[in-house]
Structure 1
Amino acid sequence: MRGTLTTEVMLMESRELRYFVTVAEEGNFTRAAARLFMTQPALSRAIRQIERDVGSPLFLRSNKGATLTFAGQVLLREGRSVLEGLDLAESRARAAADAWAPPRPA
């Protein structure tokens, strides 16, 4: 039995989620791959794996680019929220580490 979209996303790595969000923002796999400093075929494979994991196409692909499906729209909204939370958590952890760093011996 497949999990819900939410549980499947929890299994996704943040890197894969960033790939998906970048394709959604660019609306084009080639431009997204360039922005991510990776090849377009590698990015396409990563997105296809996400689609398999989720159990639904996330993009409608055409010669003019990539358009989000309804499932893709949901994942984009939720994925952005997850990534913002991860970025905030990392930023706060770094700030806490800097604020509480033990004194270094002289």
Structure 2
Amino acid sequence: MDLQAVRTFVAVTEAGGFQKAAADLSVTQQAVSKRIAALEAALGVRLFTRAPRGAELTIDGRAFLPHARELLRAAERASASVRPGSRPLRVDVIASRTAQSSLMRAFHGAHPGIA
């Protein structure tokens, strides 16, 4: 499943229409329509009822929406987990009575908020 299409689905839902979502995503309305069509084809269901006033979620679209939002949150967590600076420093110390161990304990004691 294409996360860009899922992101577009959520944007259309929040914007209430394809044109507003396209502006919010800085893409053309045609690109939004193609992404939604591809997502609908992949899922085998219609997600929106298109109307002159905008787009409304179908029953399937309403069922998919919370899962789509969770997919985007999970993708963000996955990306954040490998970003530089997002992981704590790990120092393995074999003996607890070495200078390195003492320095690490002192640093941690002085800066408890740093992982």
* Higher-Rg member (1/2): 2
Place the TM-score, normalised by the shorter chain, in its bin: 0.7 to 0.9
TM-aligned CA deviation for residue 89 of structure 1 = 2.2
1:61 is aligned to: 50
Match of 2:64 among 75, 82, 87: 75
Q: For 1:61, what is the secondary structure of its paired residue? A: strand
Distance 2:45 2:78 in 1: 30
TM-score by length of 1: 0.76
RMSD between aligned alpha carbons? 1.5
1:5 is aligned to: none
1:8 is aligned to: none
2:32 is aligned to: 43
More helix by share: 1
1:15 is aligned to: 4
% of aligned pairs identical?
36
1:29 is aligned to: 18
Deviation beyond 6 Å, 4+ runs, structure 1? none
